[in-house]
Amino acid sequence: MAALEDDFWLAAGFGALTPAALRSWVLHLTQARQSATRISRLKKARAKILRGEGLNDR
């Protein structure tokens, strides 16, 4: 995604995720059909990704 190229911290956050957490985020973000939905999901998920949390972490 272009957002990872533009945001150093987000790319670093993705790099620090465990394989299971990374897979869950990738599936969640790429299953959206419209690009607007993908962007919206990424904006909402940014804080959790930077904290190193997976999609379903509480």
Print the domain residue range for 27: 2-50
Distance CA 3, CA 14 (A): 12
Residue 23: count other Cβ atoms within 10 Å of its Cβ: 13
Distance CA 16, CA 33 (A): 27
Distance CA 11, CA 40 (A): 17
pLDDT tens sequence for the chain (58 residues): 677 778 899 889 988 999 999 999 999 999 999 999 999 999 999 999 999 999 988 7
Q: Look at the chain and report how many structural domains it folds into.
A: 1
What was the pLDDT predicted at 19?
94
User: Is residue 56 in some structural domain?
Assistant: no
What was the pLDDT predicted at 12?
92
Whether 4 contacts 11, CB under 8 Å: yes
What was the pLDDT predicted at 58?
79
User: Is residue 24 in some structural domain?
Assistant: yes
Helical ranges in 1-58 per DSSP H: 2-6, 8-16, 19-30, 35-50
